[in-house]
Structure formats: C-alpha cells, structure tokens
Chains A and B, each alone.
Chain A
Amino acid sequence: DAKTTQPNSMESNEEEPVHLPCNHSTISGTDYIHWYRQLPSQGPEYVIHGLTSNVNNRMASLAIAEDRKSSTLILHRATLRDAAVYYCILSMDSSYKLIFGSGTRLLVRP
C-alpha cells in the first residue's frame, strides 16, 4: 500500500490561511489523494479528494504537485473549529480500504 508522510503537528492563527503538506512519493497512477479530518470525540470527516488537478470545495482546496508526489490541503481562513487531526490518504479504485496514518494535528490560536 502506498504511504503518506505528514508533519506531526502545525499551528496557525485564526483567520489566516493554513497549508497542510503531504508527501506520497510512491503514489501510483490510479491512486486518488483524499483528505479527512477528525475533531475531538467525533468520527473522521471527509474534506476533499482529487486525482491530478487541483480541487476546490466549500471546506478547502487541494493543490496537487505536477508529479503527484506531494499535495497540500489549503484552509483559506482558519477558524477555531478547524482545530483537528488532518489525514492525507491514498486510495485505489480496486480497493475499498482507506489507510489512516497518524495525521497532522492542527492547532488554531485565537
């Protein structure tokens, strides 16, 4: 299974943009890049996913490097409610399994 690498923790100030990096150098051509987040005492929440092109939705943007070996989740204006553990995950169309690593714990300062 392809592996992702994320920083253990990051800090941000409220109302500032946050860029959460993820390295996935062993990604294969058909792997999608997914981002989930988990708030305290809740189940993981889907944030965004993409294959090759950058993606935007109401929660965030996903910027994918041209060689696909890395990606960045962008929260445009962090709020206190965005404090969570963010997971970068690769998925294959042929497998239903999502492999959650240890993720990045985001702290948002007021």
Chain B
Amino acid sequence: DVKVTQSSRYLVKRTGEKVFLECVQDMDHENMFWYRQDPGLGLRLIYFSYDVKMKEKGDIPEGYSVSREKKERFSLILESASTNQTSMYLCASSFGAGGNQPQHFGDGTRLSIL
C-alpha cells in the first residue's frame, strides 16, 4: 500500500514565523500535492509538483511556497505565517503523467497560527 507520511499531526506556531510542513511518500510517485481543508470550503489545491524541482501553482498559492529537492519529499513553506493560514493541511501523491491517476493522501497536519 502507498504510504504518505506528514511530519506532524498537530502544530502550533506564532504569527510571522516561517513554517515548514514536510511530506514523504514511499511509492516512487512522480506527482505530489499540497491541499488545505477548511470547513465549508472543502479541499483547495495550494501547489503541486510533477517532478523533482518542478512546481505548479494551484488555486490558492499566495503566502506559500514549496520545495521538492528529492522525488520522495515535498515541503510546504509558510513564508510568514498569518492567522488565516490556520487550517488542516493535506499532502498527496500520484503515479505517472496526467490527472486521472488516483491521489493518495496523508493523514494531515492541523496547523494553528496564534
């Protein structure tokens, strides 16, 4: 089975801090994704990567950046955390080219910005 591991289940940070969320997958998937999930808004795509060092903006990239130096690892960076970035963050990965491959998700990081 595919395993997508997010480094923390819960995280509390302060406004203005630089925050790193880490995600690792063990199935040699080409594609990796970062979403956030908020009540009433569903899951929204922040960034995705289809190859090492490649990235594409999703629907809500403002205030975030990403890094993919190795195939198995995809990091989400909050450059200067703000309270409106309090959310559940979900990482996912998928195999191959194209959008029709299933995405496999981690269990999420619940991030609180105080």
| Interface SS, B side | strand
Question: Could you tell me the distance between the alpha carbons of A43 and B48 in the complex, rounded to whole angstroms?
Answer: 17
Cβ-defined contact, A96 with B102, below 8 A? no
How many A-B pairs have beta carbons closer than 8 Å: the answer is 55
- Chain B: which residue is nearest A42 at the CB level? B107
| Interface size classification for chain A | 20 to 34
Task: Tell whether A60 is near chain B: CB-to-CB under 8 Å.
Answer: no
Number of B residues with CB within 8 Å of any CB on chain A: 24
Question: Could you tell me the distance between the alpha carbons of A91 and B4 in the complex, rounded to whole angstroms?
Answer: 21
Min CB distance B81 to A, Å, is 22
Min CB distance A44 to B, Å, is 5
Given A43-B106, A97-B58, CB of A91 within 8 Å of CB of B99: yes
Question: Could you tell me the distance between the alpha carbons of A43 and B50 in the complex, rounded to whole angstroms?
Answer: 21
Given A42-B107, A101-B42, CB of A92 within 8 Å of CB of B102: no
| Interface SS, A side | loop
Question: Could you tell me the distance between the alpha carbons of A101 and B40 in the complex, rounded to whole angstroms?
Answer: 9
Chain A, residues 10-53, CB within 8 Å of chain B (1/0): the string is: 00000000000000000000001010000001111110010000
Chain A, residues 74-110, CB within 8 Å of chain B (1/0): the string is: 0000000000000000011111111111100000000
Q: Which residues of A contact B (CB under 8 A)?
A: 32, 34, 41-46, 49, 91-102
**Complex A-B, nearest 3 residue pairs according to Cβ-Cβ distance, in ascending order:** A43-B105, A46-B102, A100-B43
